[in-house]
């Protein structure tokens, strides 16, 4: 039975003449003495005959001159650039490529979106989030100032010294506060 299975797989190649002489002879010898394989050969040959009948019978000779004139007309016509682009894109965007391109594009977009976590400050550092955000300040009764300088993206918390002489040990009075 194993022989019959193998021969069933090779029957088409045998009838198409695609086997070596040794392989062909081996199959021919088996088919000659096996009723089932002989029947399989008969069916395949009948199918081939039917295919030739169906496909060859449809073919009608086409006249060369009108055909050639039509081809010349196409050659003479100037195709627009977008017709060429459309033809090019039809070949480019095949279904199998789309099956990989779409998931790859999604993965790429997600990777770019999360790029900041891999390369912090890759956008140049001084982006809009470079300012420090001050959520609370308690100067315990002293004066305090909060400054944001946009050019250098600097956040400054400035603590003014108590004016009522707390710092009596200072050798000289401190300079006035920053001139911002």
Partner 1 sequence: MELSDRELVQKCQTGEMSAFEELVSRYHQKVYMVILGLLRNREDALEVAQETFFRAYRKINGFQGGSSFYTWIYRIAVNLAIDAQRRQKRNPLDFRESMDGLLESQDEVARDPFADVHDKELRQNLTNAINDLTPEHKAVIVLRTIEGLSYKDIGEILGCSEGTVMSRLHYARKKLQDKLSAFL
Partner 2 sequence: MKLPKNLRRRVLLFSLLSFIVAAGRGAAQKQPQIVQVKIGTILASNKNDEFDAKLKGLENQLRVLKYRSYRLLKDESQNVPWQGSKVFEIPGGRSLMVALQEFQDNRIGLKVRLTEGQKPLLDTTVRIANRGNFILGGPPHEGGVLVLSISAVAQ
* List 58, 138, 164, 168, residue binding partner 2 (CB under 8 A): 138
Question: What binding mask, one character per residue, do residues 64-83 give for partner 1 by CB under 8 A, x or -?
Answer: x--xx-xx--xx--------
Q: Which stretch of DSSP H or E encloses residue 147?
A: strand 144-149
Q: What CA–CA distance (Å, rounded) separates 91 from 94?
A: 6
Q: Please list every residue from 110 through 169 that binds partner 1, using CB under 8 A.
A: none
Which of the listed partners (partner 1, partner 2, none) does 13 bind, with a CB threshold of 5 to 8 Å by partner kind?
partner 1
Q: Residue for token digits 């894109």?
A: 89
Q: Which residues pair with 159 in a beta bridge?
A: 144
Chain-centroid distance of CA 101 in Å reads: 2
Q: What CA–CA distance (Å, rounded) separates 76 from 140?
A: 90
Which of the listed partners (partner 2, partner 1, none) does 147 bind, with a CB threshold of 5 to 8 Å by partner kind?
partner 2
Is the Cβ–Cβ distance between 34 and 4 less than 8 Å?
yes
- C-alpha distances (whole Å) from 132 to each of 41, 54, 156 are 85, 81, 9
Q: Which residues pair with 17 in a beta bridge?
A: none
Show the tokens assigned to 40. 């399989």
Q: Does 44 bind partner 1 (CB under 8 A)?
A: yes
Least distance to partner 1, CB of residue 111, Å:
33
Residue 67 or 158: which CB sits closer to partner 1? 67
Q: Does 55 bind partner 2 (CB under 8 A)?
A: no
Q: Does 133 bind partner 2 (CB under 8 A)?
A: yes
Q: What CA–CA distance (Å, rounded) separates 133 from 27?
A: 86
Least distance to partner 2, CB of residue 92, Å:
11
Least distance to partner 2, CB of residue 94, Å:
8
* List 58, 135, 138, 171, residue binding partner 1 (CB under 8 A): 58
Interface residues toward partner 1, by CB under 8 A: 9, 12-13, 16, 18, 43-44, 46-62, 64, 67-68, 70-71, 74-75, 90
């Amino acid at each position: 039975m194993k022989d019959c299975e193998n021969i069933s797989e090779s029957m088409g190649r045998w009838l198409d003449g695609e086997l070596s002489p040794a392989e062909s002879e081996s199959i021919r010898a088996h088919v000659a003495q096996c009723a089932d394989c002989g029947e399989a050969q008969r069916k395949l040959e009948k199918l081939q005959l039917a295919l030739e009948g169906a496909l060859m019978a449809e073919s009608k000779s086409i006249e060369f001159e009108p055909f050639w004139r039509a081809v010349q007309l196409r050659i003479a016509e100037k195709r627009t650039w977008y017709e060429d682009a459309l033809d090019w894109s039809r070949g480019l965007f095949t279904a199998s490529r789309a099956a990989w391109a779409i998931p790859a594009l999604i993965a790429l977009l997600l990777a770019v979106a999360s790029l900041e976590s891999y390369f912090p400050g890759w956008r140049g550092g001084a982006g809009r989030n470079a300012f420090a955000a001050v959520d609370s300040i308690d100067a315990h009764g002293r004066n305090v100032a909060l400054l944001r300088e946009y050019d250098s993206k600097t956040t400054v918390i400035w603590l003014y010294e108590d004016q009522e002489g707390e710092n009596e040990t200072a050798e000289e009075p401190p300079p006035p506060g920053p001139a911002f």
